[in-house]
Amino acid sequence: MTSRTTGDAEAIRQLKETLKRHRGDAGAWTLLGGQLRARRGQINPKYRNRALFVRERSKPRGLDYKFIYDLEARPKDGRSGFSIDKLLDVAAAYGVTVESIGAALDGGDLIPAAGPVPAPAAGPPEAVKASGILNDAAIVAAKPYATAIMTRLRDLAAEGLMTPSGSDLFLDPSRPLPGLDGDRAARRWDAHDDMLDDERAWLIAALQADAETAAWPDMNVG
């Protein structure tokens, strides 16, 4: 089950009506596609890379690269067949309200969803899997920590902090991440700044979960 932004019955009904009005309307879908492209970078600058966005945010919701490319960049293709379920998943992947998808088609603006958008942490990225740091049992143990870290990253991005330091992530006394050793996590985050955010999140999560198979380079950090 994938998570979605909240949309009540009335919002969904209105979106259905909007989709009917704009069926085959290339101009409206061009407006939405342009805003969705910009929105990727607002969530996190790394998501200006469409392939990375798909891997981390849309594919876990069943939206593959072709779908996202068509949605953003090919307004004349496939615009008569989008289901309401697909558009709800689009809203979740891009972290916007259901209502604003329809508003953007009508010429308005996308609106970021209120509250944090849960980070997809279905499993560790390929680089972490290949490292040997996690066996199956360790993945289960590390997943709650990885999810918490990635959700915090999403919160900070929504506040305008796109490249947080370890202190920003782990040492804010007003909102600690339960179960994590904040000092060690902050040092590890900063020490591995050459890695992608999801890789760092899973590395820290694995170490926090005391993964016995840890074999990551530079494990003396922290």
Give the pLDDT confidence score for residue 42 in this predicted structure.
84
**In this structure, what token pair is assigned to residue 2?**
């994938």
- Whether the pTM exceeds 0.85: the reply is no
Give the pLDDT confidence score for residue 190 in this predicted structure.
92
Round to whole Å and give the CA distance between 92 and 71. Answer: 15
**pLDDT, tens digit only, all 222 positions of the chain:** 233 444 467 778 888 889 888 888 888 888 999 999 999 988 888 888 999 999 988 988 889 999 999 899 876 544 555 778 888 889 888 988 888 999 999 999 998 876 544 444 557 777 777 777 667 777 777 888 888 898 888 878 777 677 889 998 999 888 888 778 889 999 999 998 888 888 888 888 888 876 334 444 444 444
Give the pLDDT confidence score for residue 39 in this predicted structure.
92
Q: If we measure between CA atoms, which residue out of 205, 197, 216 comes closest to residue 56?
A: 197
CA 1 from centre of chain? 15
Contacts with 13 (C-beta within 8 Å, 6 or more apart), sequence order: none
Phi first, then psi, for residue 220 (nearest 5°) are -75, -10
- Written in H, E and C, the secondary structure of 147-196 is HHHHHHHHHHHHCCCCCCCHHHHHCCCCCCCCCCCHHHHHHHHHHCCCCC
Give the pLDDT confidence score for residue 154 in this predicted structure.
81
